[in-house]
Structure formats: structure tokens, C-alpha cells
Amino acid sequence: MSSTSSSTSFQMDQFTLFRLPTVAISEIMKMFPLLEITMLSMCSKRSCGWIKAFRIRRNDLAIIVELDEEESVSVLNSEEEKVKFIIKSSKSVGIGDLVCPMESQVSIMEWVTKKRLKQYIIWLDEISDTAAEYLLSKINLSKRVFIKFKASSSFKTNLKFEGWSLVLYQSNWFSLDNLLSIKHSVLYVAESKLTNMDMNLFLKHWISSDLKFRSVSIVLREEVRYDDLLNGIPFEELTDPVQRFCYTDFHPTTVSGGYDIKRNDGVTATIVTERPHTRNEYFLMYVWDQC
């Protein structure tokens, strides 16, 4: 009895899948999750050949392997069920070794907070005000942040960010108070609700502060009017065609012309007026002592 039990256990441990009839193998393959199929294909050339031969039809699955200099996390959703989560790691990870179950945006951010990743991407089609508030409350933990979501018309938040660069798309919620509370190097804001008067107040705040901006790029809700923008601010209009070079977080650039303004501590910035291929609502400023 003992011998039979031991023999049965041994046979189950050494179950020979590929000796079964073809139809049986096909049915068993349909029961395997995609990850297990992938791992099985790596066991031997024979198992890989069998799996390729069966070609079990399943829903499309995209596996993207990227090499990046820094750890980062991307949070995305879409009306189409394409990609739920992208997880990147700077460490070598074997297939099946990285398990990170995530059920909601909040649990993702709890994971991000613990990991303290340097890059943080939120790219969402739909989001509640509660979730948006929570996600934005965590961005100060990252060096680079990219955010795209459209909040409700009543959404407000006390945004705090002291990292390296902040890029905001569809930022209908971004206010002057948010702008004045940011302390970092590179800022890009698209589709904001800011006006020339708001930017005039920002420039006056910049003149009397020690903010560390390299560049500020903001699409206003109205066309840039330099008379309103520079009202009450000493400036020098640059007519010399000599180009100046500046390197931001995104790419090197050259600037000619524009308006120079000077901070109380002597730091100089240029408000760029020549912006080929950009909208008339586009405000752009480079801070030369930081470039």
C-alpha cells in the first residue's frame, strides 16, 4: 500500500504532458494562464516548439520591455481595455519574479510612495475628483512628473511640488495659487485657465523670490498680450539678433529677442516672443542663471 502511494506520487510529479494525444495537449494548453505558457516555453526547445505549433487563440497581449535610466511607474487607463499597468524596474527581473497586484489608483500610489520612484506618470481618460486629489498629493515624492487628466470644472487642489520637472496636460484645474506654490526647475502646463493678469502676478512674485525655475511654459486661456503681461514690471526689450543658448530638462534651445526681466537678486530671465509653430496663447520664459 505504501509502495503504491509512493509510486503514484512519483508519477504525478513526473507528469509527461507532451506524451498525451494532440487533442488532450491542446485542451490542457487552453487552461494555462499566459504567464505560465510563457514560462513553459522557456523550459526547453521542445516545449517552445510545441507551444508555437498549437498557437492557442487568446485575447491580444502586448508585452513591452523598456530600458530606462531611472525607476518609474506609469498609471494609465483608457476606454479600450489595452493597458492597465506598466511597471518598470532598474533591476534585472526574471519572468514571473515581479508580482505587483494593483486593484485601484489608491493602491498604486501607496506602492509608489513606498518605492519612492524618480519618475511618475499619470495618463487617465477619466478620474474622480477624490482620486485626482489623492494622486496629486503624492507627486512631491518624485523627481519628474507627467500628468494628463481632465478634472471636473469645480476641482481644486493645493498642489505642492519640489522635484525637477513637472509636465501637465489638460490642466483645466491649474490655478494661479498652484503656480505660486511650485518650487522646481522645469514647468510645462497645457490648456490652463491662467490669464495675462495671472502671469503678471506670477512674474512679480518671481522677481521678489528665489524660485529655482529653469523654464516656464504655459498655454494660457487667452492670447498673450505683452503690455498686460509686463504691466508694472521693469524690462528690457531685446532687438539684437544674437542668439543665446539654454538647456532645459527636455532639449537644448536657442533664443533671440524677447523681453529681459531681472530679479531682485540679479538673476535674469527672458520672456520669449519669437515662438515659431506655437499658439498665440503660449507663454515661455527662460531663466539664464539656471540654464
Residue 70's pLDDT is: 56
Q: Where are the domains of the chain?
A: 2-54, 62-157, 192-291
In this structure, what C-alpha cell is assigned to residue 114?
A: 513606498
* Predicted TM-score (pTM) above 0.85: no
pLDDT tens-place values along the chain, 291 residues long: 444 444 444 344 555 666 777 777 777 777 777 677 777 777 788 778 777 776 666 555 555 555 555 555 565 555 544 444 455 555 555 555 444 544 555 566 666 666 666 777 887 777 888 888 888 887 877 788 888 888 888 888 888 888 888 999 888 889 999 998 887 789 999 888 899 999 999 999 999 988 888 899 999 999 999 999 999 999 999 887 667 766 665 566 777 788 999 999 999 999 998 776 677 899 999 998 765
How far apart are the C-alpha atoms of 182 and 194, rounded to whole Å?
15
